Amino acid sequence: MWLTGRLVPDHKTIADFRKDNGRAIRQVCARFVALCRTLGLFTEACVAIDGSKFKAVNNRDKNFTRAKMERRMAQIEESVARYLHQLDSADRQEPSLAGETKTTRLKEKIAKLKEEMQRLHALEARMLATPDQQISLTDPDARSMATSGRGSGVVGYNVQVAVDTKHHLIVTHEVTNDGSDRAQLAIIACQAKEVLGVDELEAVADRGYYSGEEILACHEAGIAVTLPKPITSGIEAKGRFGKQDFVYLSEEDVYRCPAGEKLSYHYTNEENGLVLRRYWTNACQSCGIKRRCTTGKERRITRWEHEHVLEAVQKRLDKNPQAMRLRRETVEHPFGTLKMRMGATHFLMKRLPKVATEMALHVLAYNLTRVMNIMGIQPLMAAIRA
């Protein structure tokens, strides 16, 4: 109402405006963030980064992955076998009107299932031709993504945001159809640094973003990241020492184990594009606590060539254990507000570029109302006119 001067356009006019002016809408969203910076609302060079899944205009039943396709085909084959068995039983009965009706109904069901099986085979060929072996029929860009709830998921998009820790304004955002956050940290953090126009930036994120390559990219860009390392090894659950129990002594280039022995460097190799250094000691055989350390001949420790960057991340987290609470209080507020305003359906548009436009419009509205609450409507309007 405010943007249109209380004009009352119909829904088709609004839909066409949104569809035809995607680039301009995204630029307005970016320009408003620049205005916020001019108004001095980004005084702290610190952001919280997170991602959330938003539903697309695509029913879960119209999205197929390899596993879904196999399950559906197995269900059809099972149903056809059951109906054929029922047909055989009906043929052994005395002829009657009820029997003929049942036989006709069963044949119709079998014919429909065979038609669906043919359709699924055609879809399977299209699905296997895609890079991620996944296909969505309503919105081709939407993807099936896991959510935090067990056994749950959503067909939609993964929206990444960087939120200012002081005023909870969305500094930058990105709409992706990658269900994982692991490769998103450097992109969104570097965008936030550029938008804020600072030489150094602090960013906090959750363990879902933990990736050595992404953290290194942030470090090289002047971004100090704080996030916890996920525990991916089951060694601690078995009651044995983890890698964090071994202390690296940089002066000697050795690791000190819990028993006090030093694991020296032996060789370097490359795995998956990472240069790794290998450390071990021959004292394991006579060690009194070997059973709490390894079941092999000796315990070996692997060190990435940029491991010091990861160690700096852990030190920052140890010095500021409240960082994760700050992240949660900062970034989950915007997501909750956006989803409440968007309603249960979330996105209304299809295809990634149009969905990105729709998200930019929602982010603009969110930031606009936040600034109104922070400094008032009249000062904001004066700043916009200036």
pLDDT beyond 70 at 64: yes
Residue 89 has a pLDDT of 85
pLDDT beyond 80 at 6: yes
- Torsion (CA) 291, 292, 298, 300 in degrees, nearest 10: 160
Residue 150 has a pLDDT of 60
* Nearest-angstrom CA–CA distance, 216 and 183: 12
Amino acid identity, residue 142? A
* Nearest-angstrom CA–CA distance, 217 and 359: 27
Taking alpha carbons only, the member of 336, 345, 335 closest to residue 155 is 345
For residue 271, list its beta bridge partners. 274
Each residue of 357-381: pLDDT tens digit?
A: 999 999 999 999 999 999 999 999 9
Give residue 239's region: left, alpha or beta (phi > 0; psi -120 to 50): left
* Nearest-angstrom CA–CA distance, 139 and 47: 32
Residue 346 has a pLDDT of 93
The pLDDT of 274-290, averaged and rounded, is 91
- Which uninterrupted H or E stretch holds 198? none
Using pLDDT thresholds of 50, 70 and 90, give the confidence band for residue 237.
Answer: low
The structure tokens 């254990």 sit at 321
Mean pLDDT of the chain: 90
pLDDT beyond 80 at 152: no
Residue 151 has a pLDDT of 61
Taking alpha carbons only, the member of 138, 98, 70, 34 closest to residue 350 is 138
Using pLDDT thresholds of 50, 70 and 90, give the confidence band for residue 302.
Answer: very high
Read off the tokens for 320: 């500021």
pLDDT beyond 70 at 51: yes
- % of the chain exceeding 90 in pLDDT: 65
Contacts of 1 (CB under 8 A, 6+ apart): none
Each residue of 201-219: pLDDT tens digit?
A: 999 999 999 999 999 999 9
Taking alpha carbons only, the member of 210, 194, 44, 64 closest to residue 128 is 64
Can you count the helices (H) and strands (E) in the chain?
Answer: 10, 13
Taking alpha carbons only, the member of 255, 340, 336 closest to residue 299 is 255
pLDDT beyond 90 at 9: no
DSSP notation for 103-125 = HHHHHHHHHHHHHHHHHHHHHHH
Q: Are 195 and 33 a contacting pair, CB within 8 Å? A: yes
H-helix segments, 129-267: 185-196, 212-220
Each residue of 251-275: pLDDT tens digit?
A: 999 999 999 999 999 999 999 889 9
DSSP state of 200: -
Taking only Cα atoms into account, the Rg of the chain, rounded to an integer number of angstroms, comes to 28
Taking alpha carbons only, the member of 196, 174, 186, 193 closest to residue 218 is 186
pLDDT beyond 80 at 239: no
pLDDT beyond 90 at 311: yes
Each residue of 23-48: pLDDT tens digit?
A: 999 999 999 999 999 999 998 899 99
* Nearest-angstrom CA–CA distance, 173 and 383: 23
The pLDDT of 277-289, averaged and rounded, is 91
* Nearest-angstrom CA–CA distance, 263 and 265: 7
pTM summary value:
0.85
* Nearest-angstrom CA–CA distance, 113 and 75: 10
Pairwise pLDDT comparison (230 vs 33), residue with the higher score: 33
DSSP notation for 47-70 = EEEEEEEEE-S--GGGEEEHHHHH
Read off the tokens for 286: 């006579």
- CA angle 189/191/197 to nearest 5° reads 105
Q: Note the residue count of the chain.
A: 386
Residue 149 has a pLDDT of 63
Alpha-carbon 258 to chain mean position: 37
- Which uninterrupted H or E stretch holds 367? helix 352-375
The pLDDT of 158-186, averaged and rounded, is 95
The pLDDT of 43-70, averaged and rounded, is 91
